[in-house]
Amino acid sequence: MAYSSDYSNSQDVTLQSRVRMSMLVQAAAISSEVNTTANHVSRSTLATKVSNSPDTWVQPFSQTACAGGTVTIASIDSVIDARISAVWNLLSGGL
């Protein structure tokens, strides 16, 4: 998939709202994970930031999720959830 298609998908308002909800679901799950989880501090810090200000984070998550055609406007929720989970450490800086 072309970069222009990835970008267009990431800017779709409906897809962004679905990504936003997936981010919040992930944030709640991460806030409950044990502190021995790899990268827990950075993951938990991002979970707090996402919970407090999801609009700030919807663009980075949407663009990262859509990069490479992994998520598109036709993706089902479970695909979006899996991708948001997969990119959480990248966006938290805890690689």
- List C-alpha distances in Å: 88 to 1, 4, 21, 65: 23, 23, 14, 10
pTM given for the model = 0.92
What are the tens digits of pLDDT across the range 18-54? 999 999 999 999 999 988 888 899 999 999 999 999 9
Q: Tabulate helix, strand, coil % of the chain (nearest 5).
A: 75, 0, 25
Nearest Cα residue to 9 out of 61, 85, 50 = 61
pLDDT of 49-76, one tens digit each? 999 999 999 999 999 999 999 999 999 9
Per-residue pLDDT band for 94 (boundaries 50, 70, 90) equals: low
